[in-house]
Chains A and B, each alone.
Chain A
Amino acid sequence: MSPLHLLEIKNLTKHFGGLAAVDNISFQADEGEIIGIIGPNGAGKTTLFNLISGFLKPDSGTMKLRGENITGLEPHKIVNKGIARTFQVVRPFRHLPVIANVMVALRSPRGARKIEWLKTIERKAADLLEDVGLSEMMLEPAENMGHGTLKRLEMARALATEPDLLMLDEPFGGLNPLETDFLTKSLMRMHLDEPTRCILIVEHKLYALMKIVSRVVVLHQGEKIAEGTPEEIAQNDRVIEVYMGKGIQDA
């Protein structure tokens, strides 16, 4: 085990006006982990994601990737250091065909680095799309695609930069049970293929999430209230209180 954590977050804080959206959060992520970040609405999960990916600048606290300070870097620099993300609301490039969406990510310095010799950018993009099961609609414009397809497309786009840390913002949101199942399976397969990659997942659908994660971080009103394996979290009184309300234990 290397002494350095893949991602180390210390006392991260972000205020919006008087509201502390993320309040003094610290946690670590190591290689090969799948970590779920859960919490009720407004708990600060997406804000935390935006802080890690550089879309927001933290008020205080530090973030380190393999010991290297990445606090306050530009988003594209963070991506090129090895942290890729997807969005809660899909953001495809609507004017471009599906395959070109992935090719954009392959044009980034990190994405281009991973294109091996004698393998064109188109081949690489096609391979990535095959991995998420979109090879049949490669040449269709992205604006004709459905929501579930776009979610998968975003994942292929994030994977194009071959990140060490993949952050998925509500990947199951708006998917039907079949698509949820497909995504769960492809996440598991991805974990087997790239055992060192760490995956952070923000999710509401606990049922789908709990099956795949190895560790869960629970946020509530910007604070971290619990951390542990899915079994521990399910037993945690504070978590149950936050999710179900206080009266449930008395009843």
Chain B
Amino acid sequence: MTAAGILVGTALGVVLLIWVVNLIRQDRLYAGYGVIFVFGTLAAIIVLIIPVLRDAATAATIALLPVASLSLVAIVILTFLMVYVFIQITVLSNRVMRLTQELALRNAEEQSGVESRAAERSGSRT
């Protein structure tokens, strides 16, 4: 891998890392999804910047499947797309959770109101 390739790869990894961490912090990406990207990207950056690991990874990937530069670009685009999809799932999931919590709280309040009114009525009869 060329020096420019390593630099671009590391820069892309850092951008992805900062983006994902910020999304988790803002509650726009569920930590369970985000953790995959955070630790995956960290591992990729480490492999990229340590020559021994990079050589081993290059040898392994070339032996298993030859990777064209174009397919690497596709992988990067797909990764960012995946983060976007996970953001949408997280947003929806957060809305469902808030709705579920609110519904549960209102039902309980309504129920306790009904019970206290019934208790008042039975108290006034006696």
Q: Do A and B come from one complex?
A: no
Which A residues lie at the B interface, using CB under 8 A?
Answer: none
